[in-house]
Amino acid sequence: MNLLLVSVGGMLGAICRYVLGIAIMSKFPTPPFPIAMLIVNVLGSLGLGVFYGSYYGGIPLGAYEESVFLLVAIGFFGAFTTFSTFSMETVQLYQKSAWKPLLAYISLSIVGSITMFVFGFSITK
């Protein structure tokens, strides 16, 4: 049952990431850095913070057997956000020697994601 919950959440998260990414790329066809994944990862961090704050009121330890945690936190947000794509796009910018966009992308992705998680968590807990 746990694998099914993670799978369903992951499927929904991946679909949402894809649809949102396509929508963002249609609005910004030639951004200076990968803005679609930046927005997806920052929004995903906000959403995960909101989930933890509103559902748990804290960051749970050992919730890996809870259905809602598996579906939402691991499945949906695990598939919605993507560190692997962030890593690949970072390497692409590095290979192009695009130093300013590289620094902006790394900084905004990491600081933005953490900040939005904390924000989402604090406004809902």
Q: Is 124 annotated as a binding residue?
A: no
3-state secondary structure 36-87: HHHHHHHHHHHHHHHHHHHHHCCCCCCCCCCHHHHHHHHHHHHHHCCHHHHH
Q: Which of 106, 98, 96, 120 is nearest to 37 (CA)?
A: 106
Q: Give me the helix-helix angle, 99-124 and 35-51, nearest 10°.
A: 20
The CA-to-CA distance between both ends of the chain, in Å, stands at: 29
Q: Is 115 annotated as a binding residue?
A: no
Phi and psi at residue 2, to the nearest 5°: -60, -40
- Residues belonging to the binding site are 78, 81
- Residues belonging to the binding site for Na(+) are 78, 81
